[in-house]
Homo-oligomer: A and B are copies of this chain.
Amino acid sequence: MPRLSTVGGTTSSTRRGRGTSRAASDAAVSERRAEILSVAADIFARKGYMNTTVREIADASGILAGSLYHHFDSKEAMVDEILSTFLASLVAQYDAVIAAADDPHTTLRNLVHTLFHGLSEHRAAITLTHNDSYYLEQIPRFAYLQDTKIQVEQLWVAELRRGMATGAFRADLDPALVWVFIKGAAWAAVQYVSDGGSESSDAIADTHLDVLLHGIRA
């Protein structure tokens, strides 16, 4: 039962800040940064990292391109913060599900819900990891993307294997492949939802769980 370690990314703080200290001011600082970061995440998700210009982010944030650098070291630092924040959160949620040590069916259900929930809450980050991973993974700074992907895969595979061992799931399937199917379906579903599909992420997660467990045959 793998317990996931911390996800990378640089520590977030205002650029070159030498510790202004008060919580209140930190919050204020965070607000502006968070705003910009949220705007950036949206655009990154829609257009991809490389296809997004810092000027687009700046325009959407109501400032000039150069002013972004008051808050962030670089465009790269922005994605870094977006991705590492999301992945850390996802990993923490998975950890909690695994730590609960329920029976395989319950755990699977919780994992699927975590997956769908994470996907819809952090659509931007997820889209990024899917569409730009090839580019980003080449950059040393983003090595943690690969690492986390592997950790998550191992967690799912281990859990599926446990279900097979206890007789909860069919034992004739390659758990790695099953995880691939689940992941792919979940990802497609999120795009479907955000394109105007009507159902909530929970409802879709349940439907997916249903199909996954019982199949579509009558």
Contact A188 B192 (CB under 8 A): no
Chain A interfacial residues counted at CB < 8 A = 47
The answer, among B171, B177, B188, for a CB contact under 8 Å with A204, is B177
Contact A169 B218 (CB under 8 A): yes
- Given the contacts A188-B180, A212-B211, A213-B215, A48 and B167 also touching, CB distance less than 8 Å: no
Residue A187 is within 8 A (CB to CB) of chain B in the complex = yes
Report whether over half of chain A's contact residues are helix, strand or loop; otherwise say mixed: helix
Q: List 30 A-B contacts (CB under 8 A).
A: A47-B134, A48-B134, A50-B50, A50-B51, A131-B131, A167-B218, A168-B217, A169-B217, A169-B218, A170-B216, A171-B218, A173-B210, A173-B216, A176-B197, A177-B199, A178-B211, A180-B188, A180-B192, A181-B211, A183-B188, A184-B185, A184-B187, A184-B188, A185-B185, A185-B188, A211-B212, A212-B215, A213-B215, A213-B217, A214-B215
